[in-house]
Amino acid sequence: MGVFKVDWVIEGEVPFTSPNCRQAGTLHLGNTFEEITAAQQTTWNGRSPEKPFVLLAQQSLFDSTRSPTKDKNVVWGYCHVPNGSTKDMTEAIERQVERFAPGFRERILAKHTFNTLQLEEHNPNYVGGDINGGVIDLAQLYTRPALRWSPYRTSAKGLYICSSSTPPGSGVHGMCGYHAAKRALKDIFNIKL
């Protein structure tokens, strides 16, 4: 699947009804497990969901260098869409955020969007807007990027891969690089962590 992404500058903070959400850097918005599953299945079947599962990040709460001023915050969110879709999902994403943070839309000062083709143009690795580098199923978990004893090594001595195309894949932020670094330290310096 691809993604449709929105970047916002907002006045103040995202007005989540839950105090815990106001303190989180990254949130997964989708209400119930059944609703999230239905949205993902709809996308997998090639259609755009009315209530998409939204990943929302509000890092400027914790990193002041990401915000233009103290009273403004930078927030971004994305939802999955069919690979290569050019449908504008801004309204659906903002509607989902508004469900959990009433008044969010009133705080929006500026926004920028990326559809799947714009994401691919921005980064050619995101084919069809796919930020995950392909489907991660059980077979892919063990054969990405190629079937070999160490998926982090390349045929060039001393060159290693640490992208989301290596195990454990995307969504497990930082672990691909961690495992690649461990492999490199073991191979080059005989250091075991």
**Predicted pLDDT at 191:** 85
Query: Where residue 94 sits, what CATH number does that domain have?
Result: 3.30.519
**Predicted pLDDT at 97:** 98
5 residue type, one letter: K
pLDDT in tens, 10-69: 999 999 999 999 999 999 999 999 999 999 999 999 999 999 999 999 998 888 888 878
11 shares a domain with 100 = yes
Check: pTM over 0.85? Answer yes or no: no
- DSSP secondary-structure letter at 146? S
User: In total, how many domains does the chain have?
Assistant: 2
142 shares a domain with 123 = no
Residue 153's domain comprises 138-189
Give Cα separations from 31 to 38, 148, 156 (angstroms): 11, 40, 47
Q: Which of 109, 129, 149 represents a domain boundary (last residue)?
A: 129
**Predicted pLDDT at 142:** 75
For the chain, give the mean pLDDT: 92
pLDDT in tens, 87-143: 999 999 999 999 999 999 999 999 999 999 999 999 998 999 998 878 777 887 778
**Predicted pLDDT at 166:** 85
19 shares a domain with 37 = yes
Q: Which of 77, 112, 129 represents a domain boundary (last residue)?
A: 129
166 shares a domain with 113 = no
79 shares a domain with 41 = yes
Q: Is the pLDDT of residue 71 over 80?
A: yes
Residue 124 token pair: 């050619």
Helix runs in the chain, H state only: 33-44, 90-100, 116-122, 138-143, 175-189
Q: Which of 79, 103, 129 represents a domain boundary (last residue)?
A: 129
